[in-house]
Chain A
Amino acid sequence: MKQKMKRGLALLTALCMVPGLTGCGQNDAKIVDQGKNEEKEELIIYSPNATGNEVREGGVMSAMQMAIDEFEKDHPNIAVSYKSYTPQDYQEKSYDEVVLDRVRNKMGDDISIMNPDVAYALNQEGYLADLSGLDTVQYLTDDALNQCTVDGKVISVPMTMLCYGLCVNNDLLKRYGLELPKTKQDFLHCCEVLKANGITPIAANRWWMETFVLTQGFAKLYIEDGKEEKIAALNSGETPISQYMRPGFEFLQELMDKGYFDVDFAKTAEAGDEKDQFMNQEVAFVVHYDTAIQDEVYGDHDFDMAFIGFPTDEYGQVNLMNAAQRIGINNETKHYDEAVAFAEQMTSKEVVTELLKNSGGFPPRTDITFERPEILATAYENVEAGRSIPGSNPEIKLEQWGSTCDMVQELYKGKSVDEVMAAFDALQKEAIAK
């Protein structure tokens, strides 16, 4: 037995030594790599960046990453360059301004992610390509397609539909005997009671209070009959835009006057800066879109939260729908086909499904199956009942989303509602004149 073991060990040792011995003394040159660097076509996409880790998983950036990865896999000869910008604060240029500058200065971006007002502006200036031929278009919901179509031209395709509404701290309301507001008066009552109890009712940033304005006035246009006639009257100048804008601005002015939100904070706050106030239960209301229910935003809350529409006296709660993460293709791009393919990828069923996977919400496509979170029940109910308006309707010559946003800033700065209305009407005339 011992002899066998010794023989086995000797054999094993010998076998171990063979590779070492054969490797010794060799010094032959060996070409380990040889070739030519392949030049890839560069496809440049310019995009705003979502800030913070909260959007890293399950959000739009995650879906974009997924789309890019998939695209690069399918198009190995194309190198996607991803460029982005996010303003540090309100003093810096906004993303919209930068996109406008880049397109107008022909900085070479093939694809840009843009907001509706920018899209409308660039389309008017002739920088955007027609995307009607995308497969995605035939699957877009009517609302999504309408918001992206200008005179029959599909100027952009959205990755998502954002449903704006009010996130409510229901515990705070209950604490003071209040219920979820269904009308403007209910809402003002809530604000009054909360304010009387030392609680600021609303937290606002510099962008999203326009939703209050738009829903108050434009609900009548979209919910009641005769939408086309009304739009025609607006486009002809027969109906001044102030007719629809005034109720909203007056409402906003009332909120400002009564101190129902911190105007100074709202002047400079970027989207998301108000998060801490709401999570710390310092306020009862905050404007956000439906993805607010994600854990990374407001989902991980310690109180009873509700997501409702904006209360109006005439129609009850009304939500505002925006076709967002719009993909526009530069009309002068040298890589149109690649850009179209990329846009198809970005708005594909898989990517949209991925976007809805974690947060639910409202898809821009009709072929998506998704789960409806209970917390969005009111929003689904409102939208399905027709109690929703678009954030911007390209059928109306005056772009609403961006211009309202600008006017809200003016109101913050101290202009009166009348002055703002006058400015609006002037913008309307200017737009009609174009």
Chain B
Amino acid sequence: MKWYKTRAIPIMIAGIVLIGCVIYGLSSRIQNQMEKAATENVREIVQIIESGITEIRSNDVSMAVQLAGLFTPEGDTGALLSQMQKNSVFARLSYIPEGAASGISSNGNAFTPAGFPDQRDQVGEALVTNVYMSDLGAWTYTVECPVYAGDQRAGTFYADVLMERYDNILPDAVFQGEGLVYILDAKTLRFVYEPTSTRVIISGKYDLHGFLDDFGIMEEGLEENISGAIDDAQSTIVRMSVNGETSYVYFWPIDKGAWYLCGIIPERSIQGESKAVTQTIVVTSMIIFLGAVMFFLMFHWYNRKSQKAREEQIDLFNGIARSIDDVVLLYDCDTGVQELAFDNAKRILGVDGKSLTAISECAVDNADEGAEDLTQILCRKNFQDGLERTEKAVWMNPETGLKQYLRVETAFIALDGARKCIVSVVDVTKEVQMQESLQASVLAAQNASQVKSNFLSQMSHEIRTPMNAVVGMVQIAETKFDDRERVADCLRKIKSSSHHLLSLINEILDISKIESQKMSLSEAWFSLDALLSDIDNIISVQAGMRRQRFMICNPVGNMDLLADPIRLKQVLMNLLNNSVKYTPEGGSVTLTIERKAAKMKDYCVLCFRIEDDGIGMSAEFQKKLFTPFEREDRDEVSAQTGTGLGLAIVQSMVSLMGGVLRVESEMGVGTTFYVDVNFKYKSGETRESVEEETQEVCDLTGVVILLAEDNELNREIAAEFLKMANAQVECAADGVDAFEKFRDSEAGRYDIILMDMQMPRWDGLEATRQIRKLDRPDAAAVPIIAVTANAYFEDEQKCLEAGMNDHVAKPLEMQDFYQKVKKYLWHENKEEKK
């Protein structure tokens, strides 16, 4: 269609204009030729007429002279004249004897030359008058001839010639009777002969002016021009409009200009036949021209109609294209030329259809094997094999710069007898990405499952190991019951295993807190030496068992630091445990403490460096070193017990302390952890007061405690711990029982309530809420401490929300338990003192 607009229309218009010009040129040329021919025709006809008139006039004069020669003035001259006139061309013959005033005519009447015009022309011996209206009642010229009797002139012979003589000689009209012939007397400019034709009876033009005026020939200067030409005996032919019709007006001299032939000949009468031919040519040309125009208009109309239909289809296609994500391209199978491309190509592929074609054409030329797959598909000769395909392709979107995954389908159709290939391109990048994501998720889920399985397996192993020690030691103790020392040893080992189990559970609790971002640190003054001593006591034993050399280098000396000593010790212990664990026997583990200046007063930065010459870590594993449950997949690692939580807890804790943890490790060489923490420190005076507080003795004498615990064994242990501190304990088997006991007691009866969470009927939470709702003074005030195996952070929150004051996790550590109870009792006492 663009070809049609850009080339066909201009070519056709040019063709039509050319045809028109040719027709016009031919017509003009023919017209010019016809005008020349017409002028020549007029000239030829007039010349013939003029020759005839001249000849006749000459003959008439000769005849008159001859008759005069034959005339004898003797006898009955009248009869002789009459006889001579009858056989002549003359209207009248007359004779006047020499010296007489009058004579006689052939008609028997007297004759005088009185009416003769003055002007006469000498022709030989004869005199020829101008034309005049004679007494015959007609335009006449008279030939005067001398008559001799012997040598003497006897008289004059007159021969009258009527101009009407030419009625039977001259044609009424020439050129199909349209061109009338007049004769004008050149001297008087008087018309002396008029045609007798009845075609135009009002032909009575008596002079040149009247002639021109009556025919409406009023062109300025024309009359003067013609008059001048007549004076000079020149001929004149004028082509002009006469009464609205193109005509030739001619003035042609006769006999050296004495008379003039003149008249008007309509051009149509001259050019009758040739005009018909010309008209036929013009009509034929016009028909051809109109045919060409009609053809062009039909062609134009047909193309416009087709174009409109095509544009509607394209609009429809584009409308569809806007609403779908399939880029549809139409190629001619024979030429490989793209004929149609949906507008959505730009949106989906970042390039419009035309550019896509250019790219594909370019690719064909370059035949670059490394080009994008899409261009390879489009440029392939697979348009010609007719095989319908569905292929995957990749495409580098030039707009976004991102790689796209495409599905390309080809189908073949026949349009107007030509084979076409429809190529459908669909962007499946999201599907591919989704599949990849799903695969990654599945893999991650599988990994997670594997990790958890490993974790559970590890947990099982970790729990079973100390449990085995507990169960085994209990059995040994039962068999060695009498051996006190052996029993005591068993109990000590049972205690140790129990602590291990507890630490394991605490780690899980810690990681839970860390993940929920609820981990918090407490602050307390502690001695650096004491901390290092505790660590040394534990790690030395462990290192010794693996025949490792453990050494603590503390050039800083003892310091009193304000921090969470438990969490700091936990951090260092964890790192050191790992070093011991992953350092082969005979290896060495070193803890070095360095001090750096802090920016604030009373603060210092202590750098704890834990070095070992153990198995080290791979660089890849170092990237996910602090991810929970992540353990390096190596035999040396798997051989060691571990939850994979330690380092995650350590990093979180160091971050909470405002410190920095980093690691340097090399496979087979060893690992070094760096823990830099900013501490507030103080002098020795404050250190002593702290030590006094930690040495307080627990005595719960006089304290009445309501213990709500459904598990009988746990209730017994807790009751026994409290009774060992001299407290008075009242037990409840479930929440309702606890509520009723409190409700039914006197106000202030209980100093504190220890509430298990999971119990029959009402759990601890509901019991607490009901207690708090009681309308009695101590219902809101009595401390209620949760004692429960639900040790997660969420459990703590639930307890606090239900109205409890604090939370103690099972298993109960006796001293911790006492401290927690004392905390609230002591707190109450302080409030009372105030």
Contact A84 B194 (CB under 8 A): yes
Point out the residues of chain B lying under 8 angstroms from A50, CB to CB: 202, 204
Q: Is B206 an interface position by the 8 A CB rule?
A: yes
Contact A55 B202 (CB under 8 A): yes
Instruction: Give which listed residue, B107, B133, B135, B203, contacts A84 with CB less than 8 A.
Output: B203
Point out the residues of chain A lying under 8 angstroms from B716, CB to CB: none
Residues of A within 8 A of B (CB-CB), count = 37
In the complex, chain A residues 189-227 whose Cβ is within 8 Å of any chain B Cβ: none
Task: State the CA gap A83–B139 with chains docked (Å).
Answer: 11
Q: List 12 A-B contacts (CB under 8 A).
A: A44-B196, A51-B210, A52-B214, A61-B202, A68-B201, A72-B198, A80-B198, A83-B194, A84-B194, A87-B206, A103-B137, A105-B137
Contact B136 A102 (CB under 8 A): yes
Point out the residues of chain B lying under 8 angstroms from A69, CB to CB: 198
Point out the residues of chain A lying under 8 angstroms from B133, CB to CB: 85, 92-93, 98
**Provided the pairs A53-B216, A80-B198 are in contact, do residues A86 and B137 lie with their beta carbons within 8 angstroms?**
no
Give per-residue flags for B125-147: 1 if the beta carbon is below 8 A from chain A beta carbons, else 0.
Answer: 00000000111111000000000
Task: State the CA gap A107–B137 with chains docked (Å).
Answer: 8
**Can you name the residue of chain B whose Cβ is closest to the Cβ of A62?**
B202
Point out the residues of chain B lying under 8 angstroms from A51, CB to CB: 204, 206, 210, 214
**Can you name the residue of chain A whose Cβ is closest to the Cβ of B115?**
A93
Instruction: Give which listed residue, A56, A64, A81, A87, contacts B196 with CB less than 8 A.
Output: A81
Q: Is B207 an interface position by the 8 A CB rule?
A: yes
Give per-residue flags for A20-48: 1 if the beta carbon is below 8 A from chain B beta carbons, else 0.
Answer: 00000000000000000000000010011
Q: Is B420 an interface position by the 8 A CB rule?
A: no
Task: State the CA gap A117–B214 with chains docked (Å).
Answer: 29
Task: State the CA gap A107–B107 with chains docked (Å).
Answer: 12
In the complex, chain B residues 309-357 whose Cβ is within 8 Å of any chain A Cβ: none
Contact A99 B201 (CB under 8 A): no
Q: Is A13 an interface position by the 8 A CB rule?
A: no
Point out the residues of chain B lying under 8 angstroms from A98, CB to CB: 133, 137
Q: Is A427 an interface position by the 8 A CB rule?
A: no
Q: Is B231 an interface position by the 8 A CB rule?
A: no
Instruction: Give which listed residue, A85, A92, A93, contacts B204 with CB less than 8 A.
Output: A85
Q: Is A49 an interface position by the 8 A CB rule?
A: yes
Task: State the CA gap A102–B140 with chains docked (Å).
Answer: 12
Task: State the CA gap A68–B214 with chains docked (Å).
Answer: 21
**Can you name the residue of chain A whose Cβ is closest to the Cβ of B416?**
A1
Instruction: Give which listed residue, B107, B190, B204, contacts A105 with CB less than 8 A.
Output: B107
In the complex, chain B residues 721-751 whose Cβ is within 8 Å of any chain A Cβ: none
Contact B201 A61 (CB under 8 A): yes
In the complex, chain A residues 58-104 whose Cβ is within 8 Å of any chain B Cβ: 61, 64-65, 68-69, 72, 80-88, 92-93, 97-104
Task: State the CA gap A350–B403 with chains docked (Å).
Answer: 104
Contact B137 A101 (CB under 8 A): yes
Contact B204 A86 (CB under 8 A): yes
Task: State the CA gap A101–B216 with chains docked (Å).
Answer: 33
Point out the residues of chain B lying under 8 angstroms from A87, CB to CB: 206
In the complex, chain B residues 180-214 whose Cβ is within 8 Å of any chain A Cβ: 190, 194, 196-198, 200-204, 206-207, 210, 213-214
**Provided the pairs A80-B198, A81-B167 are in contact, do residues A86 and B206 lie with their beta carbons within 8 angstroms?**
yes
Measured CB to CB, the closest approach of chain A to B173, in angstroms, equals 12
Contact B202 A65 (CB under 8 A): yes
Task: State the CA gap A258–B486 with chains docked (Å).
Answer: 192
**Provided the pairs A101-B135, A101-B136 are in contact, do residues A49 and B203 lie with their beta carbons within 8 angstroms?**
yes
**Can you name the residue of chain B whose Cβ is closest to the Cβ of A64?**
B201
Q: Is B564 an interface position by the 8 A CB rule?
A: no
**Provided the pairs A52-B213, A53-B214, A88-B207 are in contact, do residues A82 and B198 lie with their beta carbons within 8 angstroms?**
yes
Q: Is B778 an interface position by the 8 A CB rule?
A: no
Task: State the CA gap A92–B210 with chains docked (Å).
Answer: 16
Measured CB to CB, the closest approach of chain B to A83, in angstroms, equals 6
Task: State the CA gap A72–B199 with chains docked (Å).
Answer: 11
Task: State the CA gap A98–B198 with chains docked (Å).
Answer: 21
Task: State the CA gap A48–B202 with chains docked (Å).
Answer: 9
Task: State the CA gap A72–B198 with chains docked (Å).
Answer: 9
Point out the residues of chain A lying under 8 angstroms from B206, CB to CB: 51, 86-88
Contact B202 A83 (CB under 8 A): no
Point out the residues of chain A lying under 8 angstroms from B194, CB to CB: 83-84
In the complex, chain B residues 81-140 whose Cβ is within 8 Å of any chain A Cβ: 107, 133-138
Given contact pairs A51-B204, A53-B216, A81-B196, enumerate 4 new A-B contacts (beta carbons under 8 Å). A68-B198, A84-B204, A93-B133, A99-B137
Contact B138 A102 (CB under 8 A): yes
Measured CB to CB, the closest approach of chain A to B613, in angstroms, equals 93
Contact A83 B214 (CB under 8 A): no
Task: State the CA gap A104–B137 with chains docked (Å).
Answer: 9
In the complex, chain B residues 262-309 whose Cβ is within 8 Å of any chain A Cβ: none
Measured CB to CB, the closest approach of chain A to B44, in angstroms, equals 21
Main DSSP-derived SS at the B contact region? loop
Q: Is B409 an interface position by the 8 A CB rule?
A: no
Task: State the CA gap A93–B202 with chains docked (Å).
Answer: 19
Instruction: Give which listed residue, B137, B197, B204, B210, contacts A102 with CB less than 8 A.
Output: B137
**Can you name the residue of chain A whose Cβ is closest to the Cβ of B196?**
A81
Task: State the CA gap A421–B201 with chains docked (Å).
Answer: 41
Contact A100 B204 (CB under 8 A): no
Q: Is B373 an interface position by the 8 A CB rule?
A: no
Contact B136 A105 (CB under 8 A): yes
**Can you name the residue of chain B whose Cβ is closest to the Cβ of A65?**
B201
Point out the residues of chain B lying under 8 angstroms from A88, CB to CB: 190, 206-207
Task: State the CA gap A111–B492 with chains docked (Å).
Answer: 180
Q: Is B828 an interface position by the 8 A CB rule?
A: no
Task: State the CA gap A235–B595 with chains docked (Å).
Answer: 182
Point out the residues of chain A lying under 8 angstroms from B138, CB to CB: 101-102, 107
Measured CB to CB, the closest approach of chain A to B783, in angstroms, equals 104
Measured CB to CB, the closest approach of chain A to B302, in angstroms, equals 11
Task: State the CA gap A400–B214 with chains docked (Å).
Answer: 34
Point out the residues of chain B lying under 8 angstroms from A56, CB to CB: 202
Task: State the CA gap A310–B135 with chains docked (Å).
Answer: 37
Contact B202 A49 (CB under 8 A): yes
Q: Is B164 an interface position by the 8 A CB rule?
A: yes
Task: State the CA gap A153–B164 with chains docked (Å).
Answer: 32
**Can you name the residue of chain A whose Cβ is closest to the Cβ of B133?**
A93
In the complex, chain A residues 361-417 whose Cβ is within 8 Å of any chain B Cβ: none
Task: State the CA gap A50–B203 with chains docked (Å).
Answer: 9
Measured CB to CB, the closest approach of chain A to B697, in angstroms, equals 118
Contact B197 A82 (CB under 8 A): yes
Instruction: Give which listed residue, B136, B196, B197, B213, contacts A107 with CB less than 8 A.
Output: B136
Measured CB to CB, the closest approach of chain B to A27, in angstroms, equals 21
Minimum-distance CB pairs A-B, first 5: A49-B204, A101-B137, A102-B137, A81-B196, A84-B204
Task: State the CA gap A81–B170 with chains docked (Å).
Answer: 13
Task: State the CA gap A81–B134 with chains docked (Å).
Answer: 21
In the complex, chain A residues 125-155 whose Cβ is within 8 Å of any chain B Cβ: none
Point out the residues of chain A lying under 8 angstroms from B190, CB to CB: 88
Measured CB to CB, the closest approach of chain A to B141, in angstroms, equals 16
Point out the residues of chain B lying under 8 angstroms from A68, CB to CB: 198, 201
**Can you name the residue of chain B whose Cβ is closest to the Cβ of A99?**
B137
Measured CB to CB, the closest approach of chain A to B137, in angstroms, equals 3
Task: State the CA gap A111–B315 with chains docked (Å).
Answer: 90
Contact B137 A100 (CB under 8 A): yes
Point out the residues of chain A lying under 8 angstroms from B134, CB to CB: 101
Task: State the CA gap A370–B31 with chains docked (Å).
Answer: 49
Point out the residues of chain A lying under 8 angstroms from B200, CB to CB: 65
Measured CB to CB, the closest approach of chain A to B62, in angstroms, equals 25
Measured CB to CB, the closest approach of chain A to B415, in angstroms, equals 14
Point out the residues of chain A lying under 8 angstroms from B204, CB to CB: 48-51, 84-86
Task: State the CA gap A317–B160 with chains docked (Å).
Answer: 51
Give per-residue flags for B641-654: 1 if the beta carbon is below 8 A from chain A beta carbons, else 0.
Answer: 00000000000000
Point out the residues of chain A lying under 8 angstroms from B196, CB to CB: 44, 81-83
Task: State the CA gap A167–B305 with chains docked (Å).
Answer: 73
Give per-residue flags for A273-286: 1 if the beta carbon is below 8 A from chain B beta carbons, else 0.
Answer: 00000000000000
**Can you name the residue of chain B whose Cβ is closest to the Cβ of A60?**
B202
Measured CB to CB, the closest approach of chain B to A194, in angstroms, equals 32
Point out the residues of chain A lying under 8 angstroms from B216, CB to CB: 53
Measured CB to CB, the closest approach of chain A to B198, in angstroms, equals 5
